[in-house]
Amino acid sequence: MSRLWLAALALAVVIAAAVSCAEVAEGRRPAHPAVAASSQADPALPLRAAFYYPWFPQAWTQQSTYPYTNYNPVLGFYDSGSPAVIANHIAAMQYGNIQAGIASWWGQGHHTDQRVPALLAAAAGTGFKWSLYYEPEGQGLTTVAQITSDLRYIQANYASDASYLKIGGKFVVFVYGDPSDNCDTATRWKDANTVGAYVVLKVFAGYRDCINQPDGWHQYAPAVAADHQGSYAYTISPGFDKIGEPAPRLTRDPARWRQNIRDMIASGAAFQLVTTFNEWGEGTAVEDAREWDSPSGYGIYLDALHDNGAEPPAATPTPTAQSVGGSAALPHLPPSDGGDAAPLAAIVVALAAAVIAVGLAGLAIARRRRAR
């Protein structure tokens, strides 16, 4: 009996070792635990980035409503200043192939400004980058003097950090807008930008015809599924369901979302933008929520970004051992394409179980022979 058990266990070990070696040899998994890639180099265009809101917990309460959202984030109603929360968010965005976050910024000394050092610190060594979304422009006319002061402040306090987004050596600032913007807006920003910032303005009617052009243009309109601004930017939204409104302005549809991602990538636009990572009040977040959680732990919208919009694989039936002629046959295993279709652990466990079953069958035969 002991020989049969030893033979079965030895065979299981051999099979496990063989599978493991094959995985390493074929490059499906590293020989040692993987270390997250780290790069402090300026990223090249096209760039995938997501609009990010570091204004919690303050923004969980608005208009006498708490929580100010229709959804339930998996992390709960968190504090944006928490290093653990920021680290989780960076990991989630990187899982979704998002290279940079565009953090909502409401001016010098505002609580969104106070969160920037923590954002940059959390990104150190990860290769992830941060830019700022200049919100004051959306609140009405900003003067050249105010813009100049704010750009100098950003340059002095944040732009030298290795985790701040730069393109061609210039620190990047995205700028929100208001309905009254026109070519005078582009002129104001050109005159105010005395520090060489890489300025990406929000589009308005006739923006292509302006004499003074910024470094780039983008659209922020998350009630629209997809917006294409030629070579400048392609922006996508998972949905728009603002709390207090009777119906969503844009209904969530995972299949449509995957198509939007594929179209965004195919566009080749310089900025490929996600609206948004975590604007919970307007219901535009791709951050994981109870309503769209998934086995990955990141949620179906980040899963789709991770897969670059590829359709999810068809479900594979759970393999079971089948008894043939009084002995256990090896289970049928799904083919491996080098990705997640057949995880190593599942293969080893299934094969080991089958081998042990063979050993038990042999043991039963030996006992019957002895009984005779």
Q: Phi/psi at 315 (nearest 5 deg)?
A: -65, 140
Closest CA to 22 of 12, 31, 11: 31
Q: Of 241 and 311, which is predicted with more confidence?
A: 241
Instruction: Please provide the distance, in angstroms rounded to a whole number, between the alpha carbons at the two ends of the chain.
Output: 16
Q: How confident is the model at residue 39 (pLDDT cuts 50, 70, 90)?
A: low
Strands (E), the chain: 47-52, 100-105, 129-134, 166-167, 170-175, 198-202, 216-218, 226-229, 233-236, 271-274, 322-324, 327-329
Distance of alpha carbon 248 from alpha carbon 240, whole angstroms: 6
Q: Which residues contact 184 (CB under 8 A, 6 or more apart)?
A: none
Whether the pLDDT of residue 26 is over 60: the answer is no
Number of CB atoms found within 10 A of residue 162's CB? 15
Closest CA to 50 of 193, 180, 233: 233
Q: 3-state DSSP: the chain helix, strand, coil percent, rounded to 5?
A: 35, 15, 45
Mean pLDDT across the chain: 83
51 DSSP β-pair partners: 102
pLDDT in tens, 93-108: 999 999 999 999 999 9
DSSP sequence for 44-94 = PSSEEEEEE---TTGGGSBTTBSS-SSS-BTT-S--TT-HHHHHHHHHHHH
What pLDDT, on the 0 to 100 scale, is given for residue 314? 73
pLDDT above 90 covers a percentage of the chain that reads 72
Q: Of 358 and 151, which is predicted with more confidence?
A: 151
What pLDDT, on the 0 to 100 scale, is given for residue 319? 57
* Mean local confidence (pLDDT), 47-75: 98
Closest CA to 154 of 130, 176, 177, 183: 130
Distance of alpha carbon 153 from alpha carbon 16, whole angstroms: 58
The number of C-alpha atoms within 13 Å of 298 and in the hemisphere containing its C-beta is 20
173 DSSP β-pair partners: 132, 199
Q: Which residues contact 156 (CB under 8 A, 6 or more apart)?
A: none
pLDDT in tens, 120-172: 999 999 999 999 999 999 998 799 999 999 999 999 999 999 999 999 999 99
CB–CB of 131/174 below 8 Å?
yes
Instruction: Please report where in the chains the tokens 């200049």 appear, as a residue.
Output: 134
Q: Which residues contact 84 (CB under 8 A, 6 or more apart)?
A: none
* Mean local confidence (pLDDT), 51-60: 98
